């Protein structure tokens, strides 16, 4: 039995959830999300609760059951509050700025890197060293943040690169001279 799958999900005020076959549609203040449910799992809405159960028992059903509940819970949180990831640019001359909706990054290359947001994602640049990625879909926000971080990962000697704000970079000692 899945511990997460067994839990019923409470629908907060201002959020509506409807089930159409294997699709769960979540509507809220910030937008709409559609969650596709595996055929082994049954989802139903009763009163103000979302209940999921197993239809067919397979080897992976418990994992699908817990994942389905977690995904629906993330969709509910996304349409009511939204998600955000914060990135920090560390290095001399590393800068970020907005060009319309696009994010322009100066990361020590010979040219600026322009990153276009995917649907449902917005960039906020409070200052030149910080970028905030916001959206209602947790998976898309994390995907865009990881793609931007991948452009220039933090290196272990000086710590230069793009890192998550709460990320700790393990630093290495440099060369040691002969004594």
List pLDDT tens digits, range 72-129.
Answer: 999 999 999 999 999 999 999 999 999 999 999 999 999 999 999 999 999 999 999 9
Q: Quick one: DSSP state of residue 6?
A: H
**pLDDT confidence bin for 153, thresholds 50/70/90:** very high
pLDDT at 62: 86
Rounded to two decimals, the pTM is 0.88
- Specify the pLDDT at position 58: 87
Give the pairing of strands 130-135 and 9-10. unpaired
Q: How much is the pLDDT for 178? A: 64
Q: Which of 84, 69, 76 is nearest to 13 (CA)?
A: 76
Placement of tokens 């452009």 in the chain:
151
| pLDDT tens-place string over residues 35-83 | 999 999 999 999 899 999 998 888 888 889 999 999 999 999 999 999 9
Element (H, E) at 110: none
What's the CATH code, domain 83-164? 3.90.930.12
Residue 35: C-alpha distances to residues 6, 30, 80, 92 (Å): 18, 16, 15, 43
Other CB atoms within a 10 A radius of the CB of residue 178 amount to: 3
Sheet of strand 9-10, all strands in order from the earlier edge strand to the far edge: 9-10, 49-54, 41-46
Instruction: Tell me: pLDDT of 179 over 60.
Output: no
Q: What is the second-level CATH architecture of the domain 3-80? A: Alpha-Beta Complex (3.90)
Does pLDDT of 11 surpass 90? yes
Query: 57 near 1, Cβ under 8 Å?
Result: no
Ranges in the chain annotated CATH 3.90.930.12: 3-80, 83-164
Mapping DSSP to helix (H, G, I), strand (E, B) and coil, where does residue 141 land? helix
State how far the Cα of 79 lies from the Cα of 71, in Å rounded to an integer: 12
CB atoms closer than 10 angstroms to residue 146: 12
Q: pLDDT-based confidence at 4, cuts 50/70/90?
A: confident
Q: How far apart are CA 41 and CA 31, in angstroms?
A: 25
Q: Which residues pair with 10 in a beta bridge?
A: 49
Instruction: Please report, to the nearest 10 degrees, the dihedral formed by the alpha carbons of residues 19, 137, 9, 31 taken in order.
Output: -60
């Amino acid at each position: 039995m899945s511990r997460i799958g067994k839990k019923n999900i409470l629908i907060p005020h201002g959020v509506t959830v409807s089930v159409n076959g294997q699709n769960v549609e979540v509507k809220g203040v910030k937008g709409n999300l559609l969650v596709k449910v595996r055929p082994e799992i049954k989802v139903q809405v009763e009163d103000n609760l979302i209940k999921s159960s197993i239809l067919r028992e397979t080897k992976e059903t418990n994992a699908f059951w817990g994942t389905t509940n977690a995904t629906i819970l993330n969709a509910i949180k996304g349409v009511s509050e939204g998600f955000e990831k914060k990135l920090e640019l560390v290095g001399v001359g590393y800068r970020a700025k907005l060009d319309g909706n696009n994010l322009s990054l100066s990361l020590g290359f010979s040219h600026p890197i322009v990153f276009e947001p995917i649907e449902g994602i917005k960039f906020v640049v409070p200052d030149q060293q910080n970028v905030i990625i916001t959206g209602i879909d947790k998976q898309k926000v994390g995907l865009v943040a990881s793609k931007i971080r991948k452009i220039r990962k933090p290196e272990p000697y000086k710590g230069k690169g793009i890192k998550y704000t709460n990320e700790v970079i393990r630093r290495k000692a440099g060369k040691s001279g002969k004594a």
